[in-house]
Structure 1
Amino acid sequence: MKNVLKRLDPFLKVESVLEESDRMEFVVFVSSSSALCPTCGKRSFNRHSSYMRKISDLPIEERKVFIHVKSYKWFCKNSKCERQVFTERLPWIAPYRRRTQRLENDLREVAFSTNAMQAEKVCRTLGMPVSHDSLLRLIYKTPLPKKESPFRWY
């Protein structure tokens, strides 16, 4: 089961796994010794603090999956940068989100394929519990592809 998380991020270290009949919970930490400031892009080696994030992921064997990630905050050493402290960015979680990118992609696919009320029922059946309101917010946040009209005159 620990190898499942290696596909998300090779730097994840699994501390513990809790398996129950309806869910699985992983406690992991990121084994990084530095991070890039999202504002100025300068690498920092000075940790400020750490905190835990609870992230939902794709279900495994129809069980809900939660990942408790220990992330770090870092000092930005660039004196010209407006941020003094920043949080570590993980490529598989968007900032301020509580779902992995791959879970959001699957939820988006289900939400766009049917209406929000039925998508909620389908997601619950698949082990991805989400409300229809959350699905609607996900739809509204999704940028529409830009297509040129066939009726456009040049």
Structure 2
Amino acid sequence: MQQAISTTYKYTSKKENPPTNRGLFHDFRFSPGYDNLQQDGISEAVGSLTVFLHTAGKGASCPYCGHFSHRLHSYYSRHIQDLEVYGHTLELVIKVGKYYCENVSCPRKIFCEPLSFLARRYGRRSYLVEERIRSISLELTSRKA
């Protein structure tokens, strides 16, 4: 009696599994000190470093009504520039969830998980980069009395 041979191929998307290079930063661990961000991978190019992260939260609060929701709608990637590391520019690519607001009286039906601890809303630079730019510009433009 013959047995059927079954082969299962697991399709993996490049977006789901970020590249991991074996360059200078292959053992680099981005640890921002935030419990809800976890590192997925790292990619190194000439003069730049990209760290792939995802939020580990299982829900978020609606910014309009404050109702907490667990119903996931989709994901999107948010790109944030952070301070440089050893002369390499650092870009954070964070996979953030979009959620349905479960409050029926709320006018906002879908909202994004906020990253207010890292950057402004719609911001493309971290608070650290903005502070560095602000301090350098004040240093260069202020007059000494």
Tell me what 2:21 maps to. Answer: none
**1:109 aligned onto 2:135:** yes
Mapped to 1, the partners of 2:54 and 2:132 lie a distance apart of: 25
Tell me what 1:71 maps to. Answer: 96
Secondary structure of 1:98 counterpart: coil
Deviation at 1:18, TM superposition (A): 1.5
Tell me what 2:37 maps to. Answer: 12
Query: Which residue, 61, 64, 71 being the options, matches 1:46?
Result: 71
Tell me what 2:111 maps to. Answer: 86
Mapped to 2, the partners of 1:32 and 1:83 lie a distance apart of: 20
Deviation at 1:5, TM superposition (A): 3.1
The number of equivalent residue pairs is 113
Percent identity between the two aligned chains: 26
Secondary structure of 2:121 counterpart: coil
Deviations 1:6-53 (A, max 9, x none): 32x221111111123411110111111010111111100101110111
Mapped to 2, the partners of 1:98 and 1:26 lie a distance apart of: 15
Residue type at the aligned position of 1:111: S
Question: Which ranges of structure 1 fall in alignment gaps of 5 or more residues?
Answer: 116-154
Deviation at 1:99, TM superposition (A): 0.7
Tell me what 2:85 maps to. Answer: 60
Residue type at the aligned position of 2:130: E
RMSD: 1.3
Mapped to 2, the partners of 1:82 and 1:111 lie a distance apart of: 41
Q: How does 1:12-31 map to 2 (within 5 A)?
A: 12-31=37-56
| Structure possessing the higher radius of gyration over alpha carbons | 2
Question: Which ranges of structure 2 fall in alignment gaps of 5 or more residues?
Answer: 1-27
Deviations 1:41-89 (A, max 9, x none): 1100101110111110000111100011111111111112121100110
Deviation at 1:104, TM superposition (A): 0.9
Mapped to 2, the partners of 1:111 and 1:82 lie a distance apart of: 41
TM superposition score normalised by structure 2: 0.73
Query: Could you say which structure has the higher helix fraction?
Result: 1
Q: Which runs of 4+ in 1 moved over 3 A?
A: none
